[in-house]
Amino acid sequence: MSGQMLSRFANPARFMRLSAALLPWCAGASLATIAAGLYLGLIVAPPDYQQGEAVRIMYIHVPAAWMALNVYLFVAVASGIALVWRHPLAEIAARSAAPIGAAFTFVCLTTGSLWGRPMWGTWWVWDARLTSVLVLFFLYLGYIALVNGFDDPGRGGRAGSILALVGVVNLPIIKFSVDWWNTLHQPASVLRFGKPTIALSMLLPLLVMALGFTLLFAALLLVRMRTELNERKIRALRLNRMVVPAPARSQRERAEPAQPA
């Protein structure tokens, strides 16, 4: 990625124009794709021969899990760009993406728990995968708390960028250690599906849903980034008004008496 290419997109005004044009398309496409994916997954796809209708939770659960990881990678890459090139939009992208990623992680954990109840007979198992997703959720929460933990938003953004990079280095280590810990503590897991090659009728809705979730992420990200930019503009305007010294303002007010409405 060249620096020139990056700086082309660093202009907030250009971003606002571009995102305003892009947003309806992203939102519309994500709604259409998710609707199609839900139709394919909930109605067209066959029930599983072992798990019955409960398998349909998969069409939400698995794409949400993919998004949970991919959004974290997105946050880390955007943070890296923000730190290296001091790219203002990359930092805003990172801090806007994190709550969306945390929401996907939460959806993944909740649907997993709902799925586990009929399949494993319990809401929660300390299975290696569940545990590492839970840790990922805590990483998201830590990032969000750190970004919002400072009075100066710029400071929070920079600290958050470093934390996101530390987290992404740690993610494989945590995953590995949790796998190890799990095999240490419970040798035979209750019920696992032994990774059968998934049928096309089930794979297709899964991929459609994954595309829909990705588009949804893009649309939500654009909305959040636009909101953040507008918020900064408002804050800057407010500060400007406060900076105008009081006597100057009263003089001006004397010079131009309030117009009767």
Contacts with other proteins, residue ranges (CB under 8 A) = 83, 135, 138-139, 141-142, 145-146, 149-151, 155-156, 158-159, 162-163, 165-167, 169-170, 173-174, 176-178, 180-181, 184
Residue 181 Cβ, how far from other proteins at the closest point, in Å? 4
Specify the residue, 78 or 139, whose C-beta has the smaller distance to other proteins.
139
Residue 141 Cβ, how far from other proteins at the closest point, in Å? 6
Sequential DSSP letters for 43-72: IISPPBTTTBGGGGGHHHHHHHHHHHHHHH
Specify the residue, 45 or 163, whose C-beta has the smaller distance to other proteins.
163
The gap between the terminal CA atoms of the chain, to the nearest Å, is 55
Residue 132 Cβ, how far from other proteins at the closest point, in Å? 9
Cα–Cα dist 234/230, whole Å: 6
Query: What is the torsion angle, in degrees rounded to the nearest 10, for the CA atoms of residue 30, residue 35, residue 38 and residue 40?
Result: -110
196 phi and psi, to 5 degrees?
A: -70, 150
Specify the residue, 170 or 189, whose C-beta has the smaller distance to other proteins.
170
Residue 242 Cβ, how far from other proteins at the closest point, in Å? 22
Per DSSP, the chain holds a count of helices (H) and strands (E) of 8, 0
Task: Look at residue 185 and give its three-state secondary structure.
Answer: helix
Cα–Cα dist 87/64, whole Å: 29
Specify the residue, 125 or 206, whose C-beta has the smaller distance to other proteins.
125
Specify the residue, 88 or 142, whose C-beta has the smaller distance to other proteins.
142
Specify the residue, 104 or 143, whose C-beta has the smaller distance to other proteins.
143
Residue type, 222: L
Residue 235 Cβ, how far from other proteins at the closest point, in Å? 18
Residue 168 Cβ, how far from other proteins at the closest point, in Å? 12
Residue 48 Cβ, how far from other proteins at the closest point, in Å? 33
Q: Are 113 and 123 in contact (CB under 8 A)?
A: yes
Burial class (CB in 10 A: 0-12, 13-18, 19+), 174: middle
Specify the residue, 125 or 163, whose C-beta has the smaller distance to other proteins.
163
Beta bridge partners of residue 52, listed in sequence order:
48
Task: Look at residue 257 and give its three-state secondary structure.
Answer: coil
Beta bridge partners of residue 48, listed in sequence order:
52
